[in-house]
Amino acid sequence: MEAKSRSYIIGGVLAVLMTMSGVYITLRMNAFMWASILTALMAMGIYKVLKLEKDASVHEINIAQTTASTGGILAAGICFTIPAIYFLDPELFDTFTSDPGSFIFKIFVLALVGGIMGVLFSAYLRKHMIIEENLPFVIGEATADTIMAGKGGGRKMKILLSVFSITALFTALRDGVSLTIGKLHFAFEGIIPFFKHFQWGAFQFQIPFMPMALGAGYLIGYKIVSIWFLGCLFSYYIFQPLLYYLYDVPMEQMFAYILPLGVGTIIGGGITLFILKVIPSSIRTFKAMISVKVSKDELNPRLIPIFAIISVFIMSFVLNLSIVASILAILGIWVMTALAGRMTGETGIDPMEVFAVIVVLFVKLAVSLGTMESIAIAAIAAVSVGVAGDLLFDLKAGHMLRTSPKSQAKAQILGVLIGSVVVGFSLLAILNAFTLGSPELYAAQARLVSYMFGAINVKIFFMGLVIGTAITFMKRPGMVFGIGIFIPLYLSVAFFIGGVVNYLNRKKAEDETERLIASGLIGGEGVVGAILAIVKMLPLIL
C-alpha cells in the first residue's frame, strides 16, 4: 500500500471518530477546541500501534492529521446552528427530525456545501496569509512542532509525552468516565471541577481547571489574550455590575444584555477590519490568482466560481432557498471566511456561530427568510468558516513541514465527505438519547444563535458597534475584545493565565520546548476528551 493512500485511510478512520466526538463535545460540553494537535497525536499513535511509524514521513502524518481534524470542526459547525431551530420553533424542529432519512440527507447537504466551500476559500487565502504575510496561525505552528517531535524522538518527545500523560490523567480525573456493555455498567464521577465559582452581588470570580485553554493561551500570546481579557473585565466588572446596581437587571437576565454588546463589538471590529485590511489584501490576492500560473502543488482557486455556481443550484433547488438568497449567502460566506482566516491567523480564535449569524443578517437585508432558511444558511456559513480556519492551521503546519498543499486540500475534502456522512447519524442519535435544552444537552452556542435571530437589544448592539470600530481604528483587535465580553469568565481566565506565562517567558530565546509543553496540554485534554466522548457516543449510534 502506498504511503499516501495509507495516510488517507488512517485519517479517514480518525475523521469518523472525530465527527462523532465533535457532536458529543459540542452539545454536551458546549465548546470545541481546534483538533489539529490532538489528531496529530492520535495519528502518530495509530502508526505506532500498526508498527509503521519508522517509515511514515512527517508529510504522511500531516496528511492523516489534516483529514482527521476536519470531522470535528464540521460537526461543531452543524451543532452550533441546527439545534437553534428547536429554541426558535420547537414544533418545526420536531417536524424536521421526525423523518430520519430526510433529516440525515439535509444535514449531509448542508455540511458538504459548507465544508467544500471552506476548503476552496482556504486555497484562495493560503498564499497571501501564510506565505506573504506569514501570519502565525499558532495552532498550526504547534502542530508542526508536535509532528517533528514525534518523528525525532529523544528529549523533545519525552517532554511532549510527559506533559501529555499528566494532562490526560488530570482530564480523566476531572471528567470521569462511564461505560455500558450489555448489562454491565461502570461509572466514575469526576473529582475535579471545570472551574470554581464565587459570587458577590454582581461580581463573579471563577478559577479554571482547563489545561487545554492554558496551552492555547500560551500559544496565542499575551498581546491578543490581554485584549480578550480586557473585554472580559469590562463585561464582568464594569458593564454587568452597572446594569445590576443602577438598573436592577437580575443576573439571570444578564446574557440578554452582554450578548448584543459582544456581537455588536465583533461586527463593528469586523467591518472596520474588512475595510482596512481584508479588501486591499483580497484585491491583491485576486489579481495574483488570475495572473499567476498555479503550481501543480496548489489546489486551483479557479475552482471557487465553479463550485459557487453548483452551490447556488444546490441551495436553491435542494434546500428551497431563493436564487438571490443563495447568491448573497455565498458572497457573505466569502467575506466572513476572509475575516475568519485573518482572525484565526492572528489570534487562533474563530467564533463560527457569530460569523454565521452575520451572514444571515446580511442576506436578510435584501431577502425575507423563514426559520429553516435562516438556520440552513447559518449552518453552511458556520461549517465553511470553521473548516477554512482548520485547514489554514493545517496548511501552516504543512508549509513548515513542506507538505504538498494540494495533498492537504484533497485530505480535507475527504474529511468533509466523511464528516458530512457521519454527522447526521451522530446528531440524530444524541437527540434521541437526551432532551435538547436540558442540562444534559444544553447546546449553548445554538441558544446564542437563536437569541441573535430573535429580539436583540438594538441600542446595546449599536453601542457594541461603536466600541468595536473604535478599538479596531486604534490598531487593536476589536473582534477579540468583543469575544471577551460574552465568553464565560472561567475560560477567559484560563486563556489569560496562559498568555501571562508567555509574557513572563518573553525574554528567553525562541525555544520549541515551550510550544511542545503547550501542545501536550492541548493534546492531553483533547485526546482524552475525544476518547471519552466516543465511548459515550458509540452506544447511542449502535
DSSP E strands, 429-477: none
Half-sphere exposure for 361 (CA within 13 Å, toward CB):
18
Q: What is the mean pLDDT of residues 206-223?
A: 85
Question: Rounded CA gap, 178 and 532, in Å?
Answer: 8
In whole angstroms, give the CA distance from residue 67 to residue 43.
Answer: 10
Helix H or strand E encompassing 501: helix 489-504
Average pLDDT, the chain: 84
Residue whose C-alpha is closest to residue 369's, from 333, 320, 409, 417: 320
Domain boundary assignment for the chain: 3-191+214-219+269-453+513-541
- pLDDT computed for residue 297 by the predictor: 67
Q: Which three cell numbers stand for residue 33?
A: 477546541
What separation in angstroms does the CA of 37 have from each of 63, 105, 142, 212, 337? 13, 31, 7, 11, 22
pLDDT of residue 181: 61
Q: What is the pLDDT of residue 540?
A: 63
Amino acid at 474: M
The model's pLDDT over 366-382, given as tens digits with 9 standing for 90+, comes to: 999 899 999 999 999 99
- What percentage of residues in the chain have a pLDDT greater than 70? 88
Q: Would you put residue 33 in left (φ > 0), alpha (ψ -120 to 50) or beta?
A: beta
Residue 542: other Cβ atoms inside 10 A: 6
Per residue in 179-189, pLDDT (tens digit) is 666 666 767 77
- Distance, CA of 82 to CA of 356 (rounded, Å): 12
User: Residue 346: enclosing H or E segment and its boundaries?
Assistant: helix 323-347
Q: What's the whole-number mean pLDDT along residues 234-247? A: 92
Dump the DSSP string for 122-165: HHHHHIIIIIIS----HHHHHHHHHHHHHHH-HHHHHHHHHHHH
274-282: long-range pairs with CB below 8 Å, 24+? 274/335, 274/338, 274/339, 276/472, 277/342, 278/335, 278/338, 278/339, 278/342, 281/128, 281/133, 282/338
- Band of the pLDDT at 456, cuts 50, 70, 90? confident
Output b/e per residue, 1-26; b: 16+ Cβ within 10 A.
eeebebbbebbbbbbbbbbbbbbbbb
* Helix or strand (DSSP H, E) at 241: helix 240-246
Residues contacting residue 113 through CB under 8 Å, at least 6 positions apart: 311, 314, 315, 380
Q: Rounded distance, CA 366 to CA 336, Å?
A: 18
Q: Is the dihedral of CA 57, 59, 62, 64 positive or negative?
A: negative
φ/ψ of 206, rounded to 5, equals: -140, 130
Q: What is the dihedral of CA 301, 302, 308, 311, to 10 degrees?
A: -80
Residue with the bigger pLDDT between 307 and 84: it is 84
Q: Does the pLDDT value for residue 203 go beyond 80?
A: yes
What pLDDT, in 10s, does the model give residues 320-330? 888 999 999 99
Handedness of CA 253, 256, 262, 268 (dihedral sign): negative
pLDDT for position 1: 46
What is the band of 457 on the pLDDT scale with cuts at 50, 70, 90?
confident
> What's the rounded Cα separation, in Å, for the pair 365 and 379?
19
- 109 pLDDT higher than 90: yes
Question: What's the one-letter identity of residue 502?
Answer: N
pLDDT at 385 over 70: yes
Q: What is the pTM of this model?
A: 0.83
Residue 127, pLDDT above cutoff 70: yes
Render pLDDT for 498-531 as a digit per residue (tens, 0 to 9). Answer: 999 888 876 554 556 777 788 788 777 877 777 7
Average pLDDT over every residue of 29-42: 77
Question: For residue 54, how many other CB atoms are within 10 A of its CB?
Answer: 8
CA distance 175 to 171: 6
Sign for the pseudo-dihedral over CA of 401, 405, 410, 413: positive
Q: What sign does the CA torsion over 494, 67, 26, 454 have?
A: positive
Mean pLDDT in residue range 445-460? 82
Lowest mean pLDDT among 310-319, 330-339, 436-445: 436-445
> How do residues 329-370 score in pLDDT, each as one tens digit?
999 998 888 888 888 887 777 888 888 988 998 899 899 989
